[in-house]
Structure 1
Amino acid sequence: MSVNLSKGQKISLDKEAGASLTRITMGLGWDSIKTKGFLGFGSKTEAIDLDASCVLFDEGGKLADIVWFRQLKSKDGSVNHTGDNRTGAGDGDDEQIEVDLSRVPASVKSLVFTVNSFTGQNFSQVENAYCRIVNASNSQEIARFNLSVQGAHTAQIMAKLYRHNGEWKMHAIGENGNGRTFDDLMPQISVHL
């Protein structure tokens, strides 16, 4: 069963999965820009480099670690990025971040997932972009957030996973921003901690 998340919605990941979740995958997918050629003849494809990042925070809201295209693994090994896709070519997820929730250190209170357009195109030019959370043990999609709000922004704070009373919950933030990397979004992210 999949839940189509809307901006501001909060869900219990364990309840959506029907059991205790230990491993999740955040998937990001998009398609490159297709433009028509001169006088409508021919077409060309322009690559878009969207980047998925996961920023880890402690109880006090201080940065504990970051997983992104320049650091593919958290220091403790609980969060792994499968690699940078620079074009959006191909079907399915173009980038994935895998999280072993059972290995996330107790000192980490929340994980914030972001998407940035590293090549600088705004999201009004990006087709079929989405973010999803999948139960990695059985490949069941348990939550999906479609990037249906298009506009002249180049980044989005997608979602936050956080511990609450011993279980992991997810907050679909869906807040637009601007910047080529997660670092540009840090002032906006801090509001949600």
Structure 2
Amino acid sequence: MAISLTKGKPLSLTKESPGLTKIFMGLGWDPVEQKGGFLKKMFGGGASEIDLDASAVLFDKNKAAIDLVFFQQLNSRDGSIKHGGDNLTGEGDGDDEVIYVDLAKLPANVEHLVFTVNSFRGQSFDEVENAFARLVDHTKNQEICRYDLKEKGRHTGVVMASMSKENGGWTMTAHGTPCQGRTAKDIIDDAVRVI
């Protein structure tokens, strides 16, 4: 059974999943259901489309950004991280966007991976519900841990979680830190503050 992450409390991935090499970060959300009667739903009510974008920022030990994987660059320059593609609506169950990471292929100077979510269209997180981030052992197709974002607000971005090298292994920490920005490029400074 997956571990439910507590905001700010690191989880040792080395202890939870020894030998972990291939993972993916699945991010999901739903648009808030609009209130209204039969006519509103019939003529354009219900849930609106929410275009959130999942991203991964790679940092070195000095917290300098090395690379960025997001909807405008679907692969890291070294090929160790791949974005599964852009979901423009948030429709459907499960993961809406997925970022695949081959830990064995990450460059040696990568010390931190920060996973973010942004609203490209500028919609706020007051319009989003059921947002989550889950880390999955891709080799075993087994969910390791999960963070459910409860906070609402007028912010347009969230630093969801980070992974950091520690004593030869990796730790995972949930953050759920609200910020402003339409892409991950806009919130790199916010990402630095959590690692």
Larger fraction in strand: 1
Match of 1:3? 3
Name segments (4+ residues, structure 1) moved above 3 Å. 39-42
Alignment gaps of 5+ in structure 1:
none
Query: How well do the aligned residues superpose, as a CA RMSD in angstroms?
Result: 1.4
1:46-100: CA deviations, max 9, x gaps?
1100110000011221111110000000011110000000001122101000001
Write the mapping of 1:52-131 to structure 2, written as runs, cut at 5 A.
Answer: 52-131=54-133
TM-score (norm 1): 0.93
Identity, % of aligned pairs? 49
Q: Distance in 1 between matches of 2:126 and 2:109?
A: 38
Match of 1:177? 179
Q: Please, which moves more after superposition, 182-191 or 59-68?
A: 182-191
Match of 2:27? 28
Is the contact between residue 80 and residue 102 of structure 2 (CA under 8 Å) also seen in structure 1? yes
* Aligned residue pair count: 191
Match of 1:41? 39
Q: Distance in 2 between matches of 1:63 and 1:186?
A: 8
**DSSP-derived class of the 1:14 partner:** helix
Is the contact between residue 33 and residue 47 of structure 1 (CA under 8 Å) also seen in structure 2? no
Q: Distance in 2 between matches of 1:158 and 1:31?
A: 16
Give 1:160 deviation, angstroms.
Answer: 1.0
Is the contact between residue 5 and residue 173 of structure 2 (CA under 8 Å) also seen in structure 1? no
Q: Distance in 1 between matches of 2:34 and 2:174?
A: 32
Q: Distance in 2 between matches of 1:9 and 1:20?
A: 22
**DSSP-derived class of the 2:33 partner:** strand
Is the contact between residue 23 and residue 136 of structure 2 (CA under 8 Å) also seen in structure 1? yes
Q: Distance in 2 between matches of 1:169 and 1:95?
A: 22
Q: Distance in 1 between matches of 2:61 and 2:32?
A: 40
Q: Distance in 2 between matches of 1:168 and 1:54?
A: 16
Write the mapping of 1:157-176 to structure 2, written as runs, cut at 5 A.
Answer: 157-176=159-178
Q: Distance in 2 between matches of 1:4 and 1:123?
A: 21
